[in-house]
Amino acid sequence: MTDINGPSIPSVTKNAETFKIPREIRNLIAGGMAGMLAKTFVAPIDRIKIMYQITATQFHLRDIPRVASGIVKAEGITALWKGNVATLIRVFPYSGVQFMVYDRCKHHFLMKRLHDEKDLGSVHSSRSSHSGDTMKTQHLTPGESLLAGSCAGAVSVLVTCEYIHRPETAM
């Protein structure tokens, strides 16, 4: 059926709950994809950095364009991303776990604060409305942010080190 705005789109809200992906999985995928995108964006600079690390050549910031154009002339434009696939395989789980754990910690802190505010509200019944207080619960304090980020970084390192650098056992 069509109207002046174009064809109508059938409603899918009835089945939307059936296909809902858990928040943690969405965050894992989103964080992994964001990390991969960021690493792909900086891959040419990373490639140049690695070239300087394996040679005795003195690094100068002004030489980066010359080195990049030398790589492109010798090996082609795609050479600036050489080794990026291996990096992405490592980055996806690291970034995904980091984002997932950070969001989980943030959610924990905000829910705790909301719970504490409700307890305070019942003690101090003089507060008539919590509408102004809800804005405070949407952001972490610097300390909470530091703790959430530290936990997220530590867990992501532990998970990826265990997953990627698992030592082989001797028989």
The amino acid at residue 51 is M
- Phi/psi of residue 73, each to 5°? -65, -40
Round to whole Å and give the CA distance between 74 and 43.
18
Token duo for residue 26: 């969405």
Query: Residue 116's pLDDT is what?
Result: 81
User: Is residue 21 a contact partner of residue 78, using CB atoms and an 8 Å limit?
Assistant: no
Is 87:49 a contact under the CB 8 Å cutoff? no
Expressed in percent and rounded to 5, the helix, strand and coil fractions of the chain are 75, 0, 25
Q: What's the whole-number mean pLDDT along residues 27-43? A: 97
Question: With pLDDT > 90 as the criterion, what percentage of the chain qualifies?
Answer: 61
Q: What was the pLDDT predicted at 120?
A: 73
**Rounded Cα distance, 65 and 26, in Å:** 38
pLDDT for position 113: 87
- The average confidence (pLDDT) of the chain is 82
What separation in angstroms does the CA of 46 have from each of 68, 79, 83, 164?
A: 11, 12, 10, 21
Q: What is the pLDDT of residues 102-160, one digit of tens each?
A: 999 999 999 998 888 777 765 554 444 444 455 454 789 999 999 999 999 999 999 98
Cα 29 from Cα 97, distance rounded (Å): 9
Pairing of strands 6-7, 2-3: antiparallel
* 102-90-109 Cα angle (round to 5): 5
> 3-state class of 14 per DSSP?
helix
For 76, the token pair is: 């082609």
